[in-house]
Chains A and B, each alone.
Chain A
Amino acid sequence: MDEIEPKPSKPSADRVAEPSTKYGGFQLTDEYLSWIAEVEALPENQSGADKTWVAELLHTSAQHYARAKRIR
Protein backbone atom coordinates (compact mmCIF):
# COMPACT_ATOMS: atom_id res chain seq x y z
CA MET A 1 0.00 0.00 0.00
CA ASP A 2 1.28 3.37 -0.96
CA GLU A 3 2.09 5.81 1.83
CA ILE A 4 -0.14 8.79 1.89
CA GLU A 5 1.70 11.97 1.20
CA PRO A 6 1.10 14.52 3.93
CA LYS A 7 -0.79 17.52 2.69
CA PRO A 8 1.20 20.72 2.64
CA SER A 9 0.34 22.77 5.68
CA LYS A 10 -1.59 25.96 5.26
CA PRO A 11 0.38 28.93 6.53
CA SER A 12 -2.71 30.64 7.93
CA ALA A 13 -3.69 27.55 9.90
CA ASP A 14 -0.16 27.28 11.23
CA ARG A 15 -0.27 30.83 12.42
CA VAL A 16 -3.52 30.23 14.28
CA ALA A 17 -2.03 27.16 15.93
CA GLU A 18 1.03 29.05 17.11
CA PRO A 19 1.02 29.98 20.75
CA SER A 20 0.55 33.71 21.09
CA THR A 21 3.53 35.72 22.19
CA LYS A 22 3.25 36.39 25.87
CA TYR A 23 3.36 40.06 26.86
CA GLY A 24 6.47 40.40 28.94
CA GLY A 25 5.58 43.67 30.56
CA PHE A 26 6.52 47.18 29.63
CA GLN A 27 10.15 47.82 28.71
CA LEU A 28 11.56 51.21 29.62
CA THR A 29 13.85 51.83 26.65
CA ASP A 30 16.54 54.49 26.17
CA GLU A 31 14.49 55.79 23.25
CA TYR A 32 11.41 56.39 25.43
CA LEU A 33 13.54 57.98 28.15
CA SER A 34 15.04 60.37 25.58
CA TRP A 35 11.56 61.40 24.41
CA ILE A 36 10.50 62.04 28.01
CA ALA A 37 13.60 64.18 28.55
CA GLU A 38 12.80 66.11 25.38
CA VAL A 39 9.20 66.72 26.48
CA GLU A 40 10.33 67.85 29.94
CA ALA A 41 12.83 70.27 28.42
CA LEU A 42 10.30 72.10 26.25
CA PRO A 43 9.64 75.75 27.18
CA GLU A 44 5.90 75.02 27.53
CA ASN A 45 6.67 72.40 30.18
CA GLN A 46 8.59 74.64 32.54
CA SER A 47 7.20 75.97 35.81
CA GLY A 48 4.81 78.84 35.28
CA ALA A 49 3.36 77.45 32.05
CA ASP A 50 -0.40 77.80 31.67
CA LYS A 51 -1.97 74.35 31.22
CA THR A 52 -5.61 75.40 31.38
CA TRP A 53 -6.14 73.98 27.88
CA VAL A 54 -5.61 70.41 29.13
CA ALA A 55 -8.63 70.43 31.46
CA GLU A 56 -10.68 72.29 28.85
CA LEU A 57 -9.87 69.66 26.23
CA LEU A 58 -10.81 66.83 28.61
CA HIS A 59 -14.06 68.60 29.49
CA THR A 60 -14.97 69.17 25.84
CA SER A 61 -14.16 65.56 25.01
CA ALA A 62 -16.25 64.23 27.91
CA GLN A 63 -19.21 66.40 26.88
CA HIS A 64 -18.94 65.20 23.29
CA TYR A 65 -19.12 61.53 24.27
CA ALA A 66 -21.86 62.19 26.84
CA ARG A 67 -24.07 63.48 23.98
CA ALA A 68 -23.45 60.42 21.81
CA LYS A 69 -26.59 58.35 21.09
CA ARG A 70 -26.88 54.85 19.77
CA ILE A 71 -28.59 54.91 16.37
CA ARG A 72 -28.78 51.20 15.54
Chain B
Amino acid sequence: MQNAFVLLAGELDRRSVRYVTIGVSGANYYALSGSTVFHTEDRDLFLPLDPENLKRAWQACEATGFDLRVGREPLDYPRDLWLAERMVGHRALTKAFGPGGMHVDLTLVMGDFEFEPVWKERRTFLDAGAQVQVARLKHIVDSKVAANRPKDQVFLETHKEALRQLLDEDGPLS
Protein backbone atom coordinates (compact mmCIF):
# COMPACT_ATOMS: atom_id res chain seq x y z
CA MET B 1 0.00 0.00 0.00
CA GLN B 2 1.36 3.43 -0.95
CA ASN B 3 1.83 5.89 1.86
CA ALA B 4 -0.31 9.01 1.96
CA PHE B 5 2.53 11.31 0.98
CA VAL B 6 3.28 9.36 -2.19
CA LEU B 7 -0.38 9.65 -3.20
CA LEU B 8 -0.31 13.37 -2.46
CA ALA B 9 2.92 13.87 -4.41
CA GLY B 10 1.34 12.16 -7.40
CA GLU B 11 -1.71 14.43 -7.17
CA LEU B 12 0.45 17.56 -6.80
CA ASP B 13 2.29 16.51 -9.93
CA ARG B 14 -0.93 15.89 -11.87
CA ARG B 15 -2.18 19.36 -10.92
CA SER B 16 1.16 21.00 -11.80
CA VAL B 17 1.60 22.34 -8.28
CA ARG B 18 5.01 23.93 -7.76
CA TYR B 19 6.55 22.98 -4.42
CA VAL B 20 9.80 21.74 -2.95
CA THR B 21 10.19 19.40 -0.01
CA ILE B 22 12.31 21.02 2.69
CA GLY B 23 13.15 20.35 6.34
CA VAL B 24 14.23 17.00 7.73
CA SER B 25 12.02 15.10 5.31
CA GLY B 26 13.75 16.87 2.43
CA ALA B 27 17.21 16.14 3.82
CA ASN B 28 16.26 12.47 4.15
CA TYR B 29 16.07 12.16 0.37
CA TYR B 30 19.84 12.78 0.29
CA ALA B 31 20.55 10.02 2.78
CA LEU B 32 23.31 7.60 1.90
CA SER B 33 22.38 4.93 4.43
CA GLY B 34 20.31 4.43 7.55
CA SER B 35 22.76 6.54 9.54
CA THR B 36 21.78 9.66 7.60
CA VAL B 37 18.01 9.07 7.69
CA PHE B 38 16.25 11.04 10.43
CA HIS B 39 12.95 9.95 11.86
CA THR B 40 10.12 12.37 11.16
CA GLU B 41 6.38 12.07 10.77
CA ASP B 42 6.09 15.37 8.96
CA ARG B 43 6.64 16.65 5.46
CA ASP B 44 7.37 20.33 4.90
CA LEU B 45 6.51 21.67 1.46
CA PHE B 46 7.65 25.14 0.44
CA LEU B 47 5.30 26.84 -2.04
CA PRO B 48 5.63 30.10 -4.00
CA LEU B 49 3.59 33.21 -3.18
CA ASP B 50 1.11 32.23 -5.87
CA PRO B 51 -2.57 31.99 -4.83
CA GLU B 52 -3.55 29.87 -7.83
CA ASN B 53 -0.78 27.39 -7.04
CA LEU B 54 -1.83 27.27 -3.38
CA LYS B 55 -5.43 26.62 -4.36
CA ARG B 56 -4.35 23.71 -6.55
CA ALA B 57 -2.26 22.37 -3.67
CA TRP B 58 -5.35 22.44 -1.42
CA GLN B 59 -7.31 20.59 -4.10
CA ALA B 60 -4.61 17.94 -4.34
CA CYS B 61 -4.71 17.48 -0.56
CA GLU B 62 -8.49 17.13 -0.55
CA ALA B 63 -8.41 14.67 -3.45
CA THR B 64 -6.07 12.40 -1.47
CA GLY B 65 -7.97 12.50 1.82
CA PHE B 66 -6.08 15.19 3.70
CA ASP B 67 -7.90 17.52 6.13
CA LEU B 68 -6.77 21.12 5.84
CA ARG B 69 -6.30 23.32 8.88
CA VAL B 70 -5.04 26.78 9.76
CA GLY B 71 -3.78 26.69 13.30
CA ARG B 72 -6.33 24.58 15.15
CA GLU B 73 -9.24 25.52 12.91
CA PRO B 74 -10.33 23.86 9.69
CA LEU B 75 -9.42 25.88 6.61
CA ASP B 76 -12.48 27.96 5.76
CA TYR B 77 -14.84 27.35 2.84
CA PRO B 78 -15.07 28.06 0.02
CA ARG B 79 -11.46 27.20 -0.62
CA ASP B 80 -11.25 29.48 -3.59
CA LEU B 81 -8.85 31.97 -5.09
CA TRP B 82 -10.07 34.75 -2.77
CA LEU B 83 -9.16 32.70 0.30
CA ALA B 84 -5.84 31.67 -1.25
CA GLU B 85 -4.98 35.32 -1.91
CA ARG B 86 -5.63 36.15 1.77
CA MET B 87 -3.48 33.22 2.89
CA VAL B 88 -0.64 34.25 0.59
CA GLY B 89 -0.96 37.86 1.76
CA HIS B 90 -0.43 36.74 5.35
CA ARG B 91 2.20 34.09 4.46
CA ALA B 92 -0.10 31.77 6.39
CA LEU B 93 0.71 28.11 6.94
CA THR B 94 -1.75 25.43 5.82
CA LYS B 95 -1.54 22.20 7.77
CA ALA B 96 -2.70 19.03 6.07
CA PHE B 97 -3.50 15.90 8.07
CA GLY B 98 -3.77 12.74 6.05
CA PRO B 99 -4.44 9.04 6.37
CA GLY B 100 -2.13 7.06 8.63
CA GLY B 101 -1.18 10.09 10.74
CA MET B 102 0.64 11.77 7.87
CA HIS B 103 1.16 15.49 8.51
CA VAL B 104 2.14 17.86 5.74
CA ASP B 105 2.83 21.58 6.15
CA LEU B 106 2.26 23.81 3.14
CA THR B 107 4.53 26.71 3.97
CA LEU B 108 5.04 29.94 2.06
CA VAL B 109 8.16 30.80 4.05
CA MET B 110 11.62 29.21 4.06
CA GLY B 111 13.80 31.54 6.09
CA ASP B 112 15.10 34.32 3.87
CA PHE B 113 14.84 32.23 0.72
CA GLU B 114 12.76 33.30 -2.25
CA PHE B 115 10.98 30.40 -3.92
CA GLU B 116 12.35 30.74 -7.44
CA PRO B 117 16.07 30.14 -6.73
CA VAL B 118 15.18 27.11 -4.61
CA TRP B 119 12.84 25.79 -7.30
CA LYS B 120 15.45 26.32 -10.01
CA GLU B 121 18.05 24.17 -8.23
CA ARG B 122 15.69 21.49 -6.92
CA ARG B 123 16.10 17.78 -7.50
CA THR B 124 13.26 15.50 -8.61
CA PHE B 125 13.44 12.14 -6.89
CA LEU B 126 11.22 9.09 -7.29
CA ASP B 127 9.37 7.77 -4.27
CA ALA B 128 7.34 4.62 -4.91
CA GLY B 129 6.82 5.77 -8.47
CA ALA B 130 5.78 9.32 -7.63
CA GLN B 131 7.90 12.32 -8.56
CA VAL B 132 8.86 14.33 -5.48
CA GLN B 133 10.37 17.80 -5.79
CA VAL B 134 13.12 18.34 -3.21
CA ALA B 135 15.16 21.44 -2.39
CA ARG B 136 18.94 21.26 -2.57
CA LEU B 137 20.47 19.85 0.59
CA LYS B 138 22.55 23.04 0.88
CA HIS B 139 19.39 25.17 0.84
CA ILE B 140 17.75 22.95 3.47
CA VAL B 141 20.79 23.20 5.73
CA ASP B 142 21.07 26.97 5.22
CA SER B 143 17.42 27.44 6.18
CA LYS B 144 17.92 25.38 9.32
CA VAL B 145 21.00 27.39 10.27
CA ALA B 146 18.95 30.57 9.83
CA ALA B 147 15.97 29.23 11.83
CA ASN B 148 18.34 28.16 14.64
CA ARG B 149 15.60 26.61 16.81
CA PRO B 150 16.73 23.94 19.30
CA LYS B 151 15.37 21.21 17.02
CA ASP B 152 17.31 22.68 14.08
CA GLN B 153 20.50 22.70 16.14
CA VAL B 154 19.98 19.05 17.08
CA PHE B 155 19.42 18.12 13.45
CA LEU B 156 22.45 20.07 12.21
CA GLU B 157 24.84 18.68 14.82
CA THR B 158 23.62 15.13 14.22
CA HIS B 159 23.68 15.46 10.45
CA LYS B 160 27.16 16.94 10.50
CA GLU B 161 28.44 14.11 12.70
CA ALA B 162 26.80 11.48 10.47
CA LEU B 163 28.47 12.99 7.39
CA ARG B 164 31.78 13.20 9.24
CA GLN B 165 31.64 9.48 9.98
CA LEU B 166 30.67 8.61 6.43
CA LEU B 167 32.93 10.95 4.49
CA ASP B 168 35.79 12.07 6.68
CA GLU B 169 36.67 8.90 8.55
CA ASP B 170 35.91 6.45 5.76
CA GLY B 171 37.29 8.63 3.00
CA PRO B 172 35.48 10.13 0.04
CA LEU B 173 32.68 8.17 -1.57
CA SER B 174 33.03 7.19 -5.16
List residues of A whose CB falls within 8 A of some B CB. 23, 25-26, 28, 31-33, 35-40, 42, 44-52, 54-55, 57-59, 61-62
Contacts and interface: CB of A to CB of B under 8 A. Distances in A.
Contact of B164 (A23, A35, A45, A57): A35
Contacts of B163: 32, 35-36, 39
A48 B132 CA distance: 10
B138 A26 contact: no
B28 interface: yes
Contacts of A59: 3
A54 B132 CA distance: 13
A46 B28 contact: no
A61 B38 CA distance: 11
B125 A50 contact: yes
B32 to A, nearest CB: 7
B47 to A, nearest CB: 20
Nearest to B124: A47
Given A26-B153, A40-B136, A45 B123 contact: yes
B152 interface: yes
Contacts of B31: 54
Question: What are the 6 closest A-B residue pairs judged by CB atoms, nearest first?
Answer: A35-B163, A51-B125, A50-B126, A26-B156, A47-B124, A47-B123
A38 to B, nearest CB: 6
B141 interface: yes
A9 to B, nearest CB: 33
B6 interface: yes
